[in-house]
Chain A
Amino acid sequence: MPPFIGFILSYILLYKYIALFIFVFMAGLIVPIPVNIVLVAIGAFSNQQYFDFKESLIIATLANYFGDICAYTFFLRFGKDILREKYAKKYSFFMSLEKYFIEHRHLSIFGSRIIGLFGTPVNFLSGYMKVSFWEFTLFDILGNFIFVLSFLTLGYVVGDEWINISGFINTIMGIVTVIILLCTIYLVYRRAHKHRVDTH
């Protein structure tokens, strides 16, 4: 287990739900914290009756949502001015990515809550592309709820053995992330290529 996970867990054991809220909120915002492993640990703590499962589920879902909504609001306000005119317009790949995202925004917001690595880029794109607040909220809360519920349940089921399976979980998440990344790059690149051919 990496030392920083131990650091996070010792604070979670000391300050319980407040620490849980802060760490999950920071992860939702932009800080790369392996929330899935933290949630598996808290699921195991719930099994040991040191945490309450339902309270953890509600607090982690809300903390993730608040983190996401802060990032979304920031990019909604500043994203377009900072990036679009200066950078994104110059590259057909980014223009295709924008189009692709808008067409699949519900699935992108929902899916990116479950595969953590895509959370921040999708928050950025949602704000930048001015996705409606309520649309973002609905799919964000739904995705976060399923994400938190899955990992808490996993920790609850495996109990004290959670440390031994954390590497396995991380590897599966890594494989899913790379596969999604490959598919996205392929689809967006194909679209950009088609667009170039059509314009010529």
Chain B
Amino acid sequence: MHKVIKTNYARIIIGVLIALLLFLCWLLVKEYNHVRKIEDINSYKDLVENLRHKVPLSEKDVDIVMPWMTFNYLNSIFKLPAGYLKDNLNISNTRYPNVSISKYVKLAKIDQGVFIDSVKSSIAVYFLKNNLIK
């Protein structure tokens, strides 16, 4: 009797794992279809250029701005002057630039979505101005 129960347990566990495996395979197909649509990954030329750092970020890339990013990181990847975002967005937090966007909006009690949009447009404006000067 004890052995039968053990065998049943093993069968149940294996059955659950097989069901999980099938679900993950379905998820993989879905994720693969999503990844296939990303041009930068599927174009060999873009990948190689990416590896050689030949594609600096520009105003087209402002959509990568996320709440977890710090201002220091944004300044670094977009090559912005250290005080540009602070002046442009009227940031008075003393921790700037070593504070994440999510932490800043929480402390300043402002809407995260609206603030991220203004960060994106500030970065885009910086690139547009610089391109006009060049």
Contacts and interface: CB of A to CB of B under 8 A. Distances in A.
A157 to B, nearest CB: 6
Contacts, number: 99
Q: A interface, by DSSP: helix, strand, loop or mixed?
A: helix
Given A185-B10, A189-B10, A9 B68 contact: yes
Given A156-B51, A157-B50, A168-B35, A13 B24 contact: no
A160 B64 contact: yes
A165 B41 contact: yes
B25 A175 contact: yes
Nearest to B61: A160
A6 interface: yes
Interface residues on B, range: 35 or more
Interface residues of A, number: 37
Interface string A75-118: 00000000000000000010000000000000000000000000
Q: Chain A CB within 10 Å — which of B24, B25, B64, B103 has the most?
A: B24
B28 interface: yes
Given A9-B68, A160-B61, A175-B24, 13 more contacts: A13-B69, A47-B53, A50-B76, A50-B77, A160-B57, A161-B38, A161-B41, A163-B66, A164-B35, A165-B41, A174-B24, A181-B17, A185-B13
